[in-house]
Structure 1
């Protein structure tokens, strides 16, 4: 249990910020993550890029999550892209939840905002509340994931597991906030 708790702290603390010593390096790391996530989503879901490009905007996030029996927590970072103006808003994400689960996973997500209102609401208020049930076992290119998430409002979500081993059924609250240092 002690090793799992140490893994929990490591995952949550390292997931909450983009790598880089200064804001310029962090923005560059987020831009690189953005391009990789978009390519991975298009590969996994052909046609997704057409939806992303035609939407008012989209966001890409790198997230890490850990579940210890009845508690779930996670953190990450990313950026919201306004397709109409070209504006990029850098954001962090924090989540906590309750339910049954055990394990940790590193995943990427793309949020496609199907309306300008959904885009603005997410950027300005950033809350999401939902449930999640999934099973994931992946290391490098081996393994797979079975999952289901909740879509709230006019947002389509694509999620890709990078690495991890998790079995969970949780209710979560997630807060997305603007990163003042990067904006």
Structure 2
């Protein structure tokens, strides 16, 4: 009877963990859907570019810049258009430069080549220079950003959701597969 009870408790815990993971996956997919809808509204031609691409990724990020140091973190999903597979990922960034601010932003990566898609999932590094001015709260405010990213076969779109930032940084970003959600 004791063994049966232990097995039942373990099964219930496993089911709860699976339900939590599925809820977390759905939250990321819902975020991705919302970000893409906003991007399509702002840049209608992007929808066709994504449909023709090998795949795409959507990330939600928070970035902080305090005088000479910047840092950020977030999560997202990479979608392979050929297989239909989703790969859930995390990201973290750190950089140096001049600036001050906090912003909540989204990034959409369009992978035009299979190598670019596979390399992003496997290696996930990005090193870029960035100049950014953003002042936005909900639908009020404006943003202007110019990201210079050296990645062949990838287009990147960034949208500020909320925040206030004025910065010029050199930033390193690491993207990695989320072992809990995959």
User: TM-score, length-normalised on structure 1?
Assistant: 0.88
Q: Deviations over 1:10-54 (max 9, x none)?
A: xxxxxxxxxxx8211110100100110111111111110100011
Q: Deviations over 1:92-114 (max 9, x none)?
A: 00000000010000001100001
CA distance in 2, matches of 1:28, 1:46: 25
- Tell me which residue corresponds to 1:45: 43
CA distance in 2, matches of 1:24, 1:105: 28
CA distance in 2, matches of 1:154, 1:99: 27
Counterpart among 92, 97, 100 of residue 99 in structure 1: 97
Q: Computing the radius of gyration over CA atoms, which structure comes out larger, 1 or 2?
A: 2
Describe the SS at the equivalent of 2:60: strand
Question: How many aligned positions are there?
Answer: 163
CA distance in 2, matches of 1:174, 1:69: 19
- Tell me which residue corresponds to 2:119: 121
- Tell me which residue corresponds to 2:83: 85
Gaps of 5+ in 1: 1-20
CA distance in 2, matches of 1:127, 1:146: 24
1:159 aligns with 2:158: yes
- Tell me which residue corresponds to 2:170: 171
CA distance in 2, matches of 1:150, 1:111: 13
Q: Which runs of 4+ in 1 moved over 4 A?
A: none
- Tell me which residue corresponds to 2:26: 28
The alpha-carbon deviation at position 140 of structure 1 amounts to: 1.2
CA distance in 2, matches of 1:167, 1:144: 12
CA distance in 1, matches of 2:91, 2:109: 13
CA distance in 2, matches of 1:140, 1:51: 27
The alpha-carbon deviation at position 154 of structure 1 amounts to: 1.1
CA distance in 2, matches of 1:53, 1:64: 27
User: TM-score, length-normalised on structure 2?
Assistant: 0.88
Q: CA RMSD in A?
A: 0.9
Describe the SS at the equivalent of 2:120: helix
Counterpart among 43, 55, 59 of residue 53 in structure 2: 55
- Tell me which residue corresponds to 2:4: none
The alpha-carbon deviation at position 150 of structure 1 amounts to: 1.6
- Tell me which residue corresponds to 2:8: none
The alpha-carbon deviation at position 171 of structure 1 amounts to: 0.2
CA distance in 2, matches of 1:73, 1:60: 19
